[in-house]
Amino acid sequence: MSTPRIGVLALQGDTREHLSALREAGATATPVRRLSELDAVDALVIPGGESTTMSHLLRDFDLLDPLRKRLLDGMPAYGACAGMILLASEILDAGSVGREAVPLGGIDMTVRRNAFGRQVDSFEEDIEFQGLDDPVHAVFIRAPWVERVGDGVQVLGSAAGHAVAVRQGPVLATAFHPEMTGDRRIHRLFVDMVTGKR
C-alpha cells in the first residue's frame, strides 16, 4: 500500500485539522460520516471533541457496531483526546445515563475522562514520545489519561505520572492534540502503521 486512504470521523470535533495533518503526512484523507465512507477507508482517525456527543452520533448514524467490527477485524485507528476515550475498553466517569461515552474496545485500557480537569485547566507540555528523537509539544484540553493498560499495550508517552500516549497493534491513541501544532510526526507514525512500515 503506497498511499493509504485514511478517514477522519466527521460527526463532531476537529476534523479539518486532522484531514490536513494526514495529507501533510502522505495519506489520502477523507471525512467519514456514513457506513459507505467507513467501508471505503483503510484506517480511521477519531478526533478530539466531546466523547459523549460523539457516542450519541455514532448511534444516530448507525456507525457504532460497524466501527466496532472494523476495529475487531484489525483496522488501524488513531484517537486523539475524545478519540482516545472512545478507543478504550473501559471508560471511567463516562457521563450521565443515556449520554455516556461508549467504549469501542480498540485498545485494552481504562481511560478516565477529563482527568486533567476542565477547560480552564488545559495546558501544554513537552513530553518524551517513544520512537521519536525529540520531545513532542503536547496540547491537553479537558484531556483524559490512561489508568490501566492491558498486556500488549505499549505506553509511548506520559505526563503527570500517567500514560497519555499508547499503542496496541495497529491502534494508536493520545490524550493530547498533535493536529493543533505544526509537528506532523505522530500523524506520520500513524500513516506508517497503516502501511506496515512501523
Active-site residue list: 81, 177, 179
DSSP 8-state symbol, 123: E
Give the SS3 label for residue 147: strand
User: Do residues 51 and 82 make contact, with C-beta atoms less than 8 angstroms apart?
Assistant: yes
Instruction: Tell whether residue 2 is among the known ligand binding residues.
Output: no
Q: Among the CATH numbers 3.40.50.880, 3.40.50.261, 3.40.50.300, 3.90.180.10, which is that of 5-195? A: 3.40.50.880
Is the Cα torsion angle 187, 188, 189, 190 positive or negative in sign? positive
Per-residue pLDDT of the chain (198 residues; tens, 9 = 90+): 689 999 999 999 889 999 999 999 999 999 999 999 999 999 999 999 999 999 999 999 999 999 999 999 999 999 999 999 999 999 998 766 667 899 999 999 999 998 887 766 688 999 999 999 999 999 999 899 999 999 999 999 999 999 999 999 999 999 999 999 999 999 999 999 999 998
Instruction: Tell whether residue 51 is among the known ligand binding residues.
Output: yes
For 172, phi then psi, to 5°, come to: -120, 145
Q: What is the residue extent of each domain of the chain?
A: 5-195
**Whole-prediction pTM:** 0.95
User: Do residues 10 and 31 make contact, with C-beta atoms less than 8 angstroms apart?
Assistant: yes
Residue with the three cell numbers 449520554: 99
Instruction: Tell whether residue 49 is among the known ligand binding residues.
Output: yes
Q: Got the DSSP string for 19-47?
A: HHHHHHTT-EEEEE-SHHHHHT-SEEEE-
